[in-house]
Amino acid sequence: MTTPGFAPEWLALRERADAEARAAGLVEELRPTLNRTPLVVRDLGCGTGSMGRWLTGRLDGPQHWVLHDRDPRLLSLAGAAMTGPSTTVETREGDLTALTAHDLEGTSLVTASALLDLLTADEVNRLAAACVEAGVPALFTLSVAGKVELDPTEALDAEFEAAFNAHQRRVVDGRRLLGPDAVEAAVAAFEGLGATVTTASSPWRLAADQAALTAEWLRGWVDAACEQEPALVTEAPAYLRRRLGGVNAVVAHTDLLAMSRAD
């Protein structure tokens, strides 16, 4: 069964905002360093393949994509949706946190989108070590950054934001998730291994033309905050009703490009 939060319907709803948010400048920085044919790109936690649909056209020449996810339903959707005259695809079902430098041999680029904040510090350290040891650049987009700006503002916004951020850092099955600390942890891991890291802001900008996404995101944001901080449950229904009545949102994310010396 697909994990709640990674439902294909939710991933489809956010795909346009994700595409508009990712920092294309990092791809411009990366592209001249990629000269193998075909490029072999691994997308970790591919979901339904949104990152591939965004990135294939921004890279040059024939590409072979290796899509990794532990969810077989999402993987089959991603495999079927990524076609093109010069793009081939294979899928790998399993836990991406077990990947080693050996597994990355022959890879031109490791990518991920909306993944790092779901990992632990140890998992990010291991992933960075695998990329650096294999000499493979990594482009990790759309990690949550822990800041939300709502317009118009309300006094309660900060309380919901703090509770949501604490929820993102919760312990799940004995794993402490990084949540908004993910990019800082990844930068430290890559730089500690001698890689050069560039980060760029990649916020969602949600206005009236993204009403369905804004509403779904707000419901999830408020629900997670209440799960974390039960004191907010009393305020939540009226707060949500007011926010669903019309709000613009800027939801901060960060993209990261790490190039190891051999790149």
Ligand X SMILES: C[S@@+](CC[C@H](N)C(=O)[O-])C[C@H]1O[C@@H](n2cnc3c(N)ncnc32)[C@H](O)[C@@H]1O
Nearest approach, Cβ of 15 to ligand X (angstroms)? 7
Q: Is 202 in the site for ligand X (CB under 6 A)?
A: no
Residue among 87, 107, 108, 113 that touches ligand X (CB under 6 A):
113
Cβ atoms of 86 and 62 within 8 Å: the answer is yes
Of 63-71, 148-156, 196-204, 227-235, the window that binds ligand X (rule: CB under 6 A) is 63-71
Q: Which candidate, 189, 202, 187, 198, places its Cα nearest to that of 147?
A: 202
Binders of ligand X in range 37-56 (CB under 6 A): 45-47, 50-51
Nearest approach, Cβ of 3 to ligand X (angstroms)? 6
Helix (H) or strand (E) holding 192: helix 182-192
Of 27-35, 109-117, 126-134, 145-153, the window that binds ligand X (rule: CB under 6 A) is 109-117
Closer residue to ligand X, CB minimum distance, 214 or 232: 214
Q: How many residues of this chain interact with ligand X, rule: CB under 6 A? A: 20
- Interstrand relation of 109-113 and 39-44 (parallel, antiparallel or unpaired): parallel
Q: What angle do CA 18, 23, 24 make, to 5 degrees?
A: 105
Closer residue to ligand X, CB minimum distance, 11 or 183: 11
Residue 50 and residue 69: Cα distance in Å, rounded? 13
The owner of tokens 């560039």 is 198
Q: Is 120 in the site for ligand X (CB under 6 A)?
A: no
Closer residue to ligand X, CB minimum distance, 5 or 62: 5
Residue 83 and residue 53: Cα distance in Å, rounded? 9
Cβ atoms of 103 and 130 within 8 Å: the answer is yes
Positions in the binding site for ligand X (CB under 6 A)? 3, 6, 11, 18, 45-47, 50-51, 69-71, 74, 95-97, 113-115, 118
